[in-house]
Structure formats: structure tokens, C-alpha cells
Amino acid sequence: MKKIALLLICYLFGVHAICQNTSTPISIIPEPVQMVQNAGVFVLPSTITIEAPIQPAVKTTLDILQLRLTAATGYKVLFGGQMPSATIKLVLNTTADAAIGNEGYRLNVKTANITIVANQPAGLFYGVQTLLQLLPVEIESKTVMAQVKWKAPCVTITDYPRFGWRGLMFDVSRHFFTKKEVKDFIDQMARYKYNLYHWHLTDDEGWRIEIKSYPNLTKKGAWSVAKVGYFGTFSQPLPDEPKTNGGFYTQEDIKEVIQYAKDRFVNILPEVDVPGHSMAAIASYPDLSCTPGADKYDVIAGESFMDWSHGAPPIALKDNTLCPANEKVYVFLDKVMTEIAALFPFEYIHVGGDECPKNFWEKSDAIKALMQKEGLKTMEEVQSYFEKRLETIVESKGKKFMGWDEILEGGLAPNAAVMSWRGEKGGIEAAKLKHDVVMSPTTYAYLDYMQGDEIIEPHVYATLRLKKSYEFEPVPPGADAKYIIGGQANLWSEQLYNTRHMQYMLWPRGFAIAECVWSPKEKKNWNSFAAKVEQHFKRYDLEEVKYAPSMYDPIFTAINNNGQLQIELATEIEGLDIHYSFDNSFPDQFYPKYTAALTPPKDAVMLKLITYRGNKPIGRMIAMPLDVLQKRAGVKK
């Protein structure tokens, strides 16, 4: 009776917290716009009938639904265009429902059946993703799990995205990832309702797309000497070292990936990063450089060749720029853009423009002559001249032009869209100039950064914790929302040597950004998001997708207290205890629990710690040498 009364309360007031199915709390990422939990549960029958529109754009959605409803359950699925008593109905509106737009959906889970209604096939796809997240986490299992009760809570959901551009960039230049790995990446992102894959296809370390009019780009430009360690600090490759590292996509591969993405309602934004970041192109076609001796250049294999000690732009030790004063460069770009535009249906082409060193241009007579002829006063104006010519080329292929925020310097090309990465400033400025903007600031959206303390994470030069990523607001104060077309996270691959580590870097921060670009701002809540992340970790365990558990590890603050080291500890998520030792042994729940700032005992050399939830270890065992903390605090030994 009490239970019926509780369900009635749920039904009348839609109170989520007390109504959740206790075995699997509702944990939808990204959070839907509106969700009401109703009384009861839907139980999956062992023969599932699905009515759906019979059309090519819905086929992959149905294939995914079928696979996921059968692999873990062992149940059977039957489809039809007309099935009046279907278990699950996917319906396309004949009259548009203005509230949900092109990507939204309405999902109604009742005890007897489930309906997903949308205006467009994309909405059905997203409705299916949400439905799968309502089922027990075991639905992600690749093998049959016999003991699970396959049920979903009864809910009424209305959902649609906040932004039309919900992007993830994945750099396949610094390290090459195969066509299959790229497809898996797209598959995974689509499940979290991302709709834009930004494919960073060219850089100093590799040209990854076949260009038929310039075959050396992939014959030479896609290959380097294989090395591991800390990328950017590798030894100089020797002339006789074999170039076995790399790879590229043929144009047929590219078409296949585009179709794969399209079936999952993901657009692909190709990026050809010029005029900087072009060593792979120059190693293939040295004529594209202003610098004598470029014919000796090779694709960069991860050795240091930029001096960042003076800030941006960097000083190049080898000239990795295309020469804006060289007409051959514009012929090259015209041909490359012709082939790219013919391959990629998406409306934009991204042309990079970031971190372009100017020190070789400063020495070049050709650049000096160009400046005189065109009345250009600064090197930024030289780059702007280049960008404007490139914009004309891109537009002549029927595409829109987009670049990183450096393209603002020296004057923005007339119709350029800007991807703001060096914080939000460039995006705010571009929006003021009435240019379209995608926000992708390092502050929140750089997924190549470490997600926890350097003592345990693979080394990268900066840190971005999950909680900070979750604070991403694509329309920051001062920005004109009308021009912010969306947000994006970027996964650079300098330190990504394999696909498992790629996944580790992507998740769970990819969940955070997904919610920031899909869900209404007022629906975001860190504590409930963190709880949902834990449910999705269970899904990933079953699906065998790697993720970073860094949110469970402590945050260190090293303080110089009058020459004495003091250590403050905190946790990113609530409800964890930190147990520690200074005696080099491995702490567990019987060791001291952190309650206040620690002062290390006189001769101690190591702080070891681990987080627990109750009596269960949840974080990783961390060994923090005290001299590392002393250095951070500026305390002398």
C-alpha cells in the first residue's frame, strides 16, 4: 500500500529522486530537457516487436536497437512497418512538432509499450539512445546475462538539444588511428548525442587524407619514425631510421567513414591545418615553403622543433609554414580544397590557422616583397592575407570557411567562422563582429590535458579535471548568443599511442561536454551528474570501453607554511574518505582518515593515499614523494 502511495506521489508530482527504480537509478547523459517518472515499469518481453518507418535513414537506428536489445538479453526482435500491438513504436510525425525541432524526440515508456516520436530520423536515433540508457546497465553486455530483469521505469520525456553544433575533435595526425578506430570513436560519441566529428587530418606529424593531385602527401607525408616516450621531446630521427609509423585514409575510406557517421547523424568537419602545422605537406612538396633547404625536411616524429619559451606564436626551429608569398601554395590549396569539398558533404571546411610561427617569414625576401605589394604592415596581416585568399578558394568550392581563433589576428576574413580555443576571448570578439563561433576553450574542453594529478596521470603539460569540464558554458558572459552555434571538445593525440588510452582521455570528460552542449543550462547539476557518471562507468565496464577513474583520486594542495610543508587534500566528488600513510606502507580503511591539513613528520619521504567509499577502495593507490610537494609549495628541504 505504501508503495502504491509512493508511486502515486511520483505520478502526480514527477518527483525523480524518491521514485527512481532503486536497482538502476535513472542516469541519462546528457540530461533530457524534461522528464517525468510515472508509476510502474516496463518489462521487456522475450519477443520484442518494433514498428518503425521503413526508410534508409532509420535503418542504422533499428540495427543498433536490435543489436542492443538482443545481445545481452538473448531475446528476439521482430520489425514491421505496421504492427498495431508493437512493444516499441518509432514514429515520425507527419505534422512537425515545433517544440522538439529536427533532433528532438518524445519518449513515452508505459507498462505495456514504448513510443518514440520525432520529426526527423535523427530524433528517433536520439530517442533510442535515451531508451537504452533507461534499461539496466547490463544491456551493454556483449554476451547474454541471464539473471537480469530487463525493465525500464515508466517515464515521459521531451528532449531536444540546446546547440546544433555538438562537436568532438579527434586528431589522427600526431598519431594515426585506423578507419575502424575512427568509426568506433564516432559510434561512441553519437550515443552521447554529439553530432559533429571534427577530423584533424593534417599536421606536422602526418598528412592523413589521400589527395589524388598530390600523391606525395600520403606517399611521404603520412610516414615517420616510430617512437614512444614523451612526444615533443624525442631524439632527432636518424637518416637511416625506417619510417614505419603512420598511415592514411584513401578517398574510398573517407567516403565509408562519412556514410558511417551520417547513419548515426554525425556530420564530419574536415580540417586541413595551414599555414602553420604544415611540415608533413612541406616534407612532401618542399616548393610550398619560402625557406631554402626545405627539401631536407622530414615529417616530424615527435622531436622538439618549436621554441615556446617566448609565448605565442612560437619560434620555429624548422620552417613548418606554407609560404603566403608563393603562388604555388594557392594552386596547391585550390586542388586540395577541390578534392576535400567533393568528398565531404558538410557545409564547413576547417583550415586551421593556429600557432603559425612567423620567424622564417620575417627573414624571407618573398614575404617582404608581398608586404610591400599588398601594403601589409605586420606578420599577422601577412597571415590574414593568406586566410582571405584561402577563404575565397574554400567558398569557390561551395563551402564555408572556419579556422582557429588566430585567424582574427591581422583582420578576419569576411565570412569566416571562428573556433575559439585560446579561452573564450576570441569567440566573444568574433561574435561581436557578427561571425559564427564554436566555443572550444582549453579551460574546459581540452581532453588531451591530464584529468588528475601528474603524479599518477600520464604526463601532459596541463590539467583539466572532470568537474571543470562540466562547468563549460558555450555562451560565456559578454558573448552574443546569436552567433554561438555550439560547443566542442578537442582530443589532440600527441600523447595518445593507442585506442585504449584514447578512450581513457575521452571519458568521462566526453560525458561532461555532451551534457554542456545538449542539456538546458538550468538542468546541469554536478552532484547528480557525478552519480550518473558512475552508472555509465558500469556500462563501459560491460562494453569494454576504457575511462579515467581520476575523479575518485584526491586533489593535492601543497602550502608553504612559514617554510614548512602543509598538505591539503580534497576530492572532486562527495562522499569519499581519504586514508593515508607517511610510513611508506599501503594505506587502507584502517589507516588515518584525512580530516584537516597535514604536516608531514620530520623524516618522512612519502605520502601514500587512497580514497574509500565506506569500506570499499574506490580511488587508485597514489604514492606522492614529499619532495615533489615541497617543490610545488616552494619549500626548501
- The residue ranges that bind ligand ACM (CB under 6 A) are 354-355, 404, 421
The candidate with the shortest Cα–Cα distance to 86, out of 32, 133, 135, 42, is: 42
- Report d(CA 267, CA 259) in Å as an integer: 9
Q: For 548-583, b where at least 16 C-beta lie within 10 A, e where not — what string? A: bbbbbbbbbebbeeeeebbbebebbbeebbbbbbbe
Least gap, CB of 376 to ligand ACM (angstroms): 24
Indicate the residue whose CB is closest to ligand ACM. 354
CB of 157 to ligand ACM, least distance (A): 36
Please say which residue, 376 or 502, places its beta carbon nearer to ligand ACM.
502
First to last CA, the chain: 68
Identify which of residues 109 and 322 has a Cβ nearer to ligand ACM in the complex.
322
Looking at the Cβ atoms of 51 and 405, the one nearer to ligand ACM is 405
Instruction: Name every residue whose Cβ is closer than 8 Å to that of residue 336 and which is 6 or more positions away in sequence.
Output: 211, 213, 214, 272
Q: Compare residues 152 and 506 and give the one whose CB is closer to ligand ACM.
A: 506
Burial of residue 101 (CB within 10 Å: 0-12, 13-18, 19+) is middle
Structure-block grid coordinates of residue 120: 526527423
In the complex, least distance from residue 188 CB atom to ligand ACM, rounded to whole angstroms: 22
Centre a 10 Å sphere on the Cβ of residue 604 and count the other Cβ atoms it contains.
15
Q: What is the DSSP string of 251-307?
A: HHHHHHHHHHHHHTT-EEEEEEEESSS-HHHHHH-GGG-SSTTGGG-----SB--EE
User: Residues 300, 279: contact at Cβ < 8 Å?
Assistant: yes
Amino acid found at 453 = D
Residue 64 or 349: the one with the smaller Cβ distance to ligand ACM is 349
Grid coordinates representing 550? 581520476
**Of 360 and 421, which CB lies nearer to ligand ACM in the complex structure?**
421
Query: Of 118 and 464, which has the nearer Cβ to ligand ACM?
Result: 464
Measured at the alpha carbon of residue 531, what is the angle toward residues 525 and 536, in degrees to the nearest 5?
Answer: 115
Q: Shortest approach of ligand ACM to residue 518 CB, angstroms?
A: 23
State in angstroms the smallest separation of the CB of 405 from ligand ACM: 8
Distance CA 490, CA 37 (A): 35
Least distance between ligand ACM and beta carbon 418 (Å): 11
Residue 161 Cβ vs ligand ACM, minimum distance, rounded to whole Å: 24
Query: So which residues are the catalytic ones?
Result: 203, 277, 355
